[in-house]
Each structure stands twice: as C-alpha cells, then as structure tokens.
Amino acid sequence: MNHPCQCSPLGDSALLLSFGNQISPQINQKVHAAAERLRQARLDSVIELVPAYTTLTVYYDPCRITSGQPYEMIKEQVLNRLQNLESKKVGTGKLIEIPTCYDKEFAPDLEQVAKHCQLSPEEVIGLHTSATYDVYFLGFAPGFPFLGGMNKKLATPRLENPRQKIPAGSVGIAGEQTGVYPLATPGGWQLIGHTPISLVDFEKESPTLLKPGDKIRFKAISRSEHQEMETLR
Amino acid sequence: MSLTLLEPGMLTSVQDLGRFGFRNLGFSTNGAMDTLAAKTANLILDNPESAPVLEYTLTGPTLKFHEPAAICLTGGNPVATLDNQPVDSHTVISIQSGQILKIGSLRSGCRGYLAIKGGFQLRETLGSCSTYLRAGIGGLEGRALKENDQLKFTPMSSQESLKHEVSLGLEFTHYLEEPKSTLPVRFVRGPQFSWFSKQGLETFLNQPYSVRPDSDRMGYRLSGEKIVSQHSESLITEGATSGAIQIPPDGQPIILMSDCQPTGGYPKMGNIISVDLPRVAQLKPSDTLIFQEVSIEEAQQELIEQRFSLNRLSIAAKHYWKRIQDEYQ
C-alpha cells in the first residue's frame, strides 16, 4: 500500500499524520486534501481534524472503538482512506480580500520595517499587497492565520520587547511571516497596518472569516475608507 | 431558581468537558482541568456527565442558594460547610432555600468542582459552556466569576425537593479510587521522542520535576534537571493536545493543559495518558512528579476501564435517584 504520510500516536486520543518536513504549499495542500478525505469518511470515533503546516492531527475517542486495539484500528481506518491522495483540491480554497489601511496611525512599525528591509514604506506596502497568501492553518488564537507566501524581502525580526496589547485587526510581520490578529492579544509582531473587518464572530456557527486552505490578499485602503468600514461593522 | 456568589473563590469559572470541533479554527477546547472530577460530580447527581460545573482553584466560593438544590463537590478535598455544618465531598448535599454553602480552602489537590442537580442554566457558545478566558466567551460573560454574580439553575421536580427535608449522605467514593498523588505520571512516547539524547531520556525518566508557580490552565511549567536534546533543528509547528509534554530549548518540561493552543512548536517527549492527566491537574505549585513510560495499548486499556467504572457509577446513581422519587409517589 502506498501511504502518503507517517503516522504516530499523540497520546492515547490523537494521532499525528506527517506529510513532509518542510514548509511548502505542496505539502500543505496534501494536508488539506487528507483532512477533506477524512471529513467525508465520517469515521465514528473521530472527534476533529486539525491541519498544520505539514501535519494533520486526528483527535479520536478510543472508547468508541469497540473491537481490536484502538490505536491500530484507527490508524488502519485512516490510512486506508488516504490512499492515492491527490493534492490538487484544497479545502474551499476561497480567495478572501483583507482591506488594510497602512496609514501611519495604524502602522507604528512600518518605518522600522522599511528601514530594516532597505525599502521605502510605499515599496513595503506594494510588496505586501501584491502577493497572494496561502492560509496554511489557523492556530495560536481563534481565527489567527498562519500564512505562506510573503515576499522574503519583507522579512523583519520580531520586536525585542513585545507589546502588552495589540489591537484586534492589526496586520504585522514577524520574521518571514505575515499575519493579522483577530483578537486583541500581547505580541511581538511589527505592525504595518490594520483591517477594519472582523476575523472572528463567536455568535456565528462558522465563527472565523478564514478557513484552513483559503487564500488571502491584502488590499490597501485609505483612512477614510477604513473609518467608513469600521462604522459599518 | 438561582444562587448568588457571596465570595468568588480563586479563579472560579464555569467549565464543561470542552468545546470541540473548532480546534482547526485556532480555538482552545477549554473545559474542566480534572475531567474525571467534573464527570463524577455530574454522574452522582444523575446529570449528563458533560453538564457545566463550577471549577475553583485552591479556595472555593461561598454561595447563597435562593431555592432548594442538590449539589455535589468533587476534585480536591475542601473544608466545606453548609450553614456552618461540615459537609462531605463525593456525596449528594441537599440544600434548603436560603442556606449558605461555604467552600473554603482545599486540604488536598488544586482544583475543586461543584455540580448542581438539573444543571446550571447558561447559554452555550459554539456548543459549550466552558469559559474561554483568553477569548472572553462561554461560561458567565466569558470571564471568571466574581462577587455578587448570580447563576440560574434548573428547578428540581417536586419529589426531589421533598426529599430534601431529610439529609441524605450516599457515598459514591468507593466507585472511584482516590487520586494517589505519589504515583508516577504515565506517558506514551511522542513524535519527537527520538530527538532527545540517551542522557536526556535518562534524566526525564528518573529525575523528579516540580510544578512552577507560573503554571496555569494553559500549561504546567516544571522545573528540574535540564533535558538535553540531540536534535539541532527546530520543530515545524504541529498539532498538540492537552497532556502533551513539550520540551523547550531550556530543557524544562511544559505539560499542556485544558486552555492550551491547538498547535505548538516545541518538540514533544510524549503525552500524559488520559487517565493520569486529572492527577496532574490536581498538583499545586512546588508539588513534584515523576514520569513513567507506558505503551499506547496500556494507556487506551486504562481509559476504557475508566469508562466502564464511570458507567457503573452512572447506573448506581440512577438507581439512587429513582428510589428517591419512588419513595414520594
């Protein structure tokens, strides 16, 4: 049998499927394709599936597996479903636009990032808005996307002293990553902009704007557009 | 039907068994730290085992009941009184309208639980009443409880109210062993087990580790002899779960707990087995623990046996409550 992944236990109630050992869109697509397969398989004992960069975690209830040794049973069931896995189709794969205001007021670290990257602030905004980013997975906090696809020219280290509170909607850069904060949290990201749209709504059945496997683009908006969108919320 | 918190206790919050199905969107599951204690309290009252309960830390709340109620205290062993009369854990405590239950400090353990027959009336957020402190959702207004908070609960049927004219003390403790804090904490190997040097493993398996004061519902931070890794590469962030034993570069283990993030970037030595995790949740700062490796087969067998013993408790409690009802018909 040709299995696309390695399988190991993550305690007695989860298993970890590993599809490779580097961060790449191709490997991450396999992760999402596997998640989709297993979602459709609706295995009785499976509680939930959590994708990450190169892995898919399958949480299950061993007490619901009544015959055989639970780990061996679930491993077999899962691996059987993942044969001949195609990596083409990725989740919903929706393209979502994040309107972002890069005005000074919302971008306390834009100058610093530009300086570090030896670019002008306009060039930073240009590079940041011209890429399409893959939502590799959500983690850290509700709705927080781990994005791939940032131009390496924008890579900037985190702040030496993290901020006590970063407002919800902040768009930032940390190392080779860019991201957007759905909730106000402490953090060390370099802040280069702010989106007026909300990324998480706990009252909705589907509480986050972004899903693993989506794609996003940042679209530059003016201060007045930002203000207008914020009042519409 | 309600009760008022005259004193909130320490980090008292509403928890159930957790919020599932949203970890792929970056959510924590939250939920009771000592899930066994939360389930036991509910089952003794013939509630669904996942009904919301109050979880407090080291010191319990003082509650004034405005209607009759039946409650059960589990978890750590508190100095508790009802109108100044001592009351026991792991038993049904019947409470009259106007009475005051004072749950003091814990004689043993770190977390106590209070379940109420019929259950608290709370609105679920995304399928759970568990308080998610970091996101400010669930429980009561997404926060820890404070003085003068009111909690509504489902009224009992008339027969059940009647029986509260007599105090009943049925011990269910013999169904579940008392947690033994001196036993080793068992774990199964994690995906990065082989990252650690022979010496690192020896340290991990033989040295005691103590609970640091900055441990909380997200994670238990331990201190002890440094665990050496022989792997120079860093881990690509991957899925994690409560009970995961992470070893950061400083070699001091962190055990992920109920409020942990669904993904993590530190290598995992292993995962504490589900039946032992409640014991870890009852460790206090400066308590020590020793790790012991077991097979996945043993871990799952233990969990299945625990399921059976909880099922037996549930049946016994159902019989008990049926008898109470029959007596007054």
Return the closest-CA partner of residue B286 out of B118, B110, B41, B78.
B110
CA atoms within 13 Å, Cβ hemisphere of A118: 2
A147: in domain:
yes
- The answer, yes or no, to whether residue B168 has pLDDT greater than 60, is no
User: In this structure, are residues A43 and B228 in contact, taking their beta carbons and an 8 Å threshold?
Assistant: no
Are the beta carbons of B241 and A207 separated by less than 8 Å?
no
What's the pLDDT score for residue B319? 87
Q: Is A208 in CB contact (< 8 Å) with chain B?
A: yes
Same domain, A34 and A100: no
pLDDT tens across A179-192, in order? 999 999 888 899 99
Q: Give one DSSP letter per residue of B83-136, joined into a string.
A: TTEEE-SSS-EEE-TT-EEEEEEEEEEEEEEEEETT-B----BTTB---BTTTT
Are the beta carbons of A54 and B126 separated by less than 8 Å?
no
pLDDT tens across A198-226, in order? 999 999 999 999 999 999 999 999 999 99
User: In this structure, are residues B156 and B70 in contact, taking their beta carbons and an 8 Å threshold?
Assistant: yes
Same domain, A11 and A111: no
Which of A81-85, B56-60, B68-72, B74-78 is the most confident on average? B56-60
Same domain, A104 and A61: no
Q: Residue A101 pairs with which residues in a beta bridge? A: A194, A221
A89: in domain:
no
Q: Is A31 in CB contact (< 8 Å) with chain B?
A: no
- The answer, yes or no, to whether residue B169 has pLDDT greater than 50, is no
From B237's Cα to the closest Cα of chain A, the distance in A is 7
For chain A, count helices (H), then strands (E). 5, 13
- The answer, yes or no, to whether residue B161 has pLDDT greater than 90, is no
Nearest to B261 among A70, A139, A205 (CB): A139
Q: Is A54 in CB contact (< 8 Å) with chain B?
A: yes
Q: Which residues of chain A neighbour B303 with C-beta distances below 8 Å?
A: 12-13, 62-63
A46: in domain:
yes
What's the pLDDT score for residue B229? 86
Q: Is B178 in CB contact (< 8 Å) with chain A?
A: no
pLDDT band at B226 (very low <50, low <70, confident <90, very high): very high
Q: Is A144 in CB contact (< 8 Å) with chain B?
A: yes
Say which residues have a Cβ less than 8 Å from residue A134's Cβ, sequence separation at least 6.
A25, A28, A147, A148, A149, A213, A215
Q: Give the span between the Cα atoms of A156 and A117, in whole angstroms.
A: 7
Q: Residue B56 pairs with which residues in a beta bridge? A: B112
Of A93-107, A153-167, B153-167, B179-193, minimum mean pLDDT range: B153-167
* Selected residue of B263, B280, B306 to mutate for chain A interface (largest A Cβ count, 10 A): B263
Q: Give the span between the Cα atoms of B25 and A207, in whole angstroms.
A: 8
From B216's Cα to the closest Cα of chain A, the distance in A is 17
Say which residues have a Cβ less than 8 Å from residue B103's Cβ, sequence separation at least 6.
B9, B56, B59, B60, B61, B62, B63, B73, B78, B80, B112, B114
What's the pLDDT score for residue B176? 55
Are the beta carbons of A141 and B26 separated by less than 8 Å?
yes
Structural domain range at position A19: 6-81
Asked which of A21, A54, A81 is the last residue of a domain, the reply is: A81
Same domain, A107 and A207: yes
pLDDT tens across B95-129, in order? 999 999 999 999 999 999 999 999 999 999 999 99
Return the closest-CA partner of residue A142 out of B5, B24, B237, B48.
B24
Are the beta carbons of A11 and B236 separated by less than 8 Å?
no
Same domain, A75 and A100: no
Q: Is A14 in CB contact (< 8 Å) with chain B?
A: yes
Domain residue ranges of chain B, discontinuous segments joined by +: 2-176+308-327, 185-294
Same domain, A100 and A161: yes
User: In this structure, are residues A37 and A81 in contact, taking their beta carbons and an 8 Å threshold?
Assistant: yes
Are the beta carbons of B263 and A14 separated by less than 8 Å?
no
Q: Give the span between the Cα atoms of A72 and A78, in whole angstroms.
A: 10
What's the pLDDT score for residue B181? 61
pLDDT tens across B175-195, in order? 555 555 678 999 999 999 999
Q: Which architecture characterizes domain B185-294 according to CATH?
A: Beta Barrel (2.40)
